[in-house]
Structure 1
Amino acid sequence: MEWLVLTAASLLAGFVDSIVGGGGLILVPALFAAFPHAPPATLLGTNKSASMWGTATATWRYARRVPLRWSALLPAAGVCALAAWLGAWVVTVVSPEALRRALPFVLAAVLLYTLARKDLGRTHQPRYAGRAEVLATCAVGGTIGFYDGFFGPGTGSFFVFAFVRWLGYDFLGASAAAKLLNTTSNVAAVALFAWKGHVWWHYGLAMALANVAGSLLGTRLALQHGAGFVRGVFLIVVAALIAKTAWDAYGALP
């Protein structure tokens, strides 16, 4: 039964993640429900071992159809990988409890801002070029990459919002760029988890195949329907993330 549930969850997670991120909202709870007594690090490592293949597939699909600014994104990907590794190490010595409690409010601010700015992400007008673009993109990759390694929920959505709001991308271009950086942060995190022995590869392989299938479907829909469709999914996913992270942080309080 666990195989069936996890495969279905991974398929859906790959679909959502390939559009705007947020696949962990689906797959991580499924893993914790299926294996309530397993070490959390092992479940998080197994999740990453599947999702990295979905994000890599989405990156490949987007790169064939959406122009990516490789001169800025490749250095940012390297910074993102290093930052994610550092974040994953820091979480072994520092509790993310304060961040967990603040996250619903940060996501609510992102949602309200996006709703208020109805034109946000409709057109693709990058604000930077040359060295300034490299520095800005590396700042995004380093900051959110560290967050992904340290805590993680909503990483893909934060990448999308940063590229739209700060760098001037439309939602489709932002999603494509986000997938590249999210792939590198996932790979870095998996490397650390695997090094520590926290990956169940037999489950990860089956989940990876399902995740890739969901990713192929999600990128196809995003490419067909464009930035407006991606913006709509972004709003739905961020709203779901607010509910989930608020419950995780405050639902168990008396």
Structure 2
Amino acid sequence: MDALNTLGLFIGSLVSNTLASLSGGGAGLIQFPLLLFLGLPFGIALATHKVASVALGIGATVNHLRNGNLPWKLTLYVISVGATGVIIGANLILTIPVKFAEAALGALIISLGIYSVTTKDLGQTSTPQRRQSLGFIIGAIILFIIGMINGSLTAGSGLFVTMFLVRWFGFDYKQAVAITLVSVGLFWNAIGAIAIYQAGATIYWPWLPVLLIGSLLGGYLGAHLAHQRSNQLIKRCFESLTFVIGFKLLLDL
């Protein structure tokens, strides 16, 4: 890959991961299509993107740990209940057609954006709820399903986790994004990368250093911006990404 393409790959990775770290998901919006555009086959691009996305989680985790406001019990809960779903999804994606699944995912992501826009006070303050046995059991089932989406498709699962944490458990957007970036960005993506590699996908190692640097810096920068900005701004960024990602998935049919 020549210097111009290398620069484009780095910028695309940096921008997509900064936005994802600020909004709670969506790194695959730019990074994955860019890998396809540069000539990687679908399976190789997906596996390479999954590995690179782990650096997003590392960058975000470092920043959130420095700020010391991460609820670890809830974060470990999200990591553990979604992990099996991630593994199942990673094994399914290489054996089933993805177009219909991506169209359905696009429609669901748009619906998240519409719901957030029409619910003006959503995620602006922390209002703890459903944090008892039944609430955690139902939450585990939903997070397992989202984990399958994370393992199998390229973008959007983090947005589902962010919205679920806001709506079901009553987190504000800042808290929800922090939990999502550590649990999904770091651990779910790492598990998914390993699972899809073991399922037979090939990782394109020559491009990984550039992608890892862009993802790491983007994850850290987005997390830093999330701490500096208001819940309202993060809510708007979340909504913008849901519409862009959703319509992109539908238009790619």
In the alignment, which residue of structure 2 is the partner of 1:229? 233
Distance (whole Å) between structure 1 residues aligned to residue 154 and residue 36 of structure 2: 15
Counterpart amino acid of 2:229?
H
Shift of 1:56: 2.4
Q: C-alpha separation between the residues in 1 aligned to 2:38 and 2:110?
A: 30
CA distance in 1, matches of 2:103, 2:131: 37
The equivalent residue for 1:181 is 183
Question: Which residue of the other structure, out of 121, 124, 134, is the alignment partner of 2:123?
Answer: 121
SS at match of 1:166: helix
**Residue deviations 1:110-149 (CA, integer Å, cap 9, x gap):** 1111111100000011213353454354334312111111
Q: Cα RMSD (Å) of the superposition?
A: 1.8
CA contact (8 A) 2:59 2:218 kept: no
- 1:167 is matched by which residue type in structure 2? F
* Equivalent residue, structure 1, for 2:22: 19
Aligned residues of 1:28 and 1:47 also touching (Cα < 8 A): yes
Paired residue type of 1:3: T
Gap runs ≥5 in structure 2: none
Q: Percent identity?
A: 25
> 2:87·2:191 contact (CA, 8 Å) conserved in 1?
yes
Pairs aligned (count): 247
Q: State the TM-score, normalizing by the size of structure 1.
A: 0.90
Ranges in structure 1 where 5+ consecutive residues have no aligned partner = 250-254
Q: Structure 2 CA distance, aligned partners of 1:228 and 1:81?
A: 30
AA at the equivalent of 2:216 = V
CA deviation profile, 1:125-175 (whole Å, cap 9, x unmatched): 121335345435433431211111122321111111111111111111110
Give a deviation string over 1:75-127, Cα, whole Å, max 9, x none: 33123222111111122333333322222321222111111110000001121
Shift of 1:199: 0.9
2:221 equivalent in structure 1: 217
CA–CA distance in structure 2, aligned partners of residues 16 and 164 of structure 1: 19
CA contact (8 A) 1:76 1:134 kept: no
More divergent stretch after superposition (239-248 vs 189-198): 189-198
* Pairing 1:200-211 to 2, within 5 Å after superposition: 200-211=204-215
Secondary structure of 2:130's counterpart equals coil
What TM-score results when the alignment is normalised by the length of structure 2? 0.90
CA deviations 1:184-212 (Å, max 9, x no partner) are 22111210233325112221122111111
Would the alpha carbon gap of residues 150 and 190 (structure 1) be closer, same or farther in structure 2, given more than 3 Å must change? same
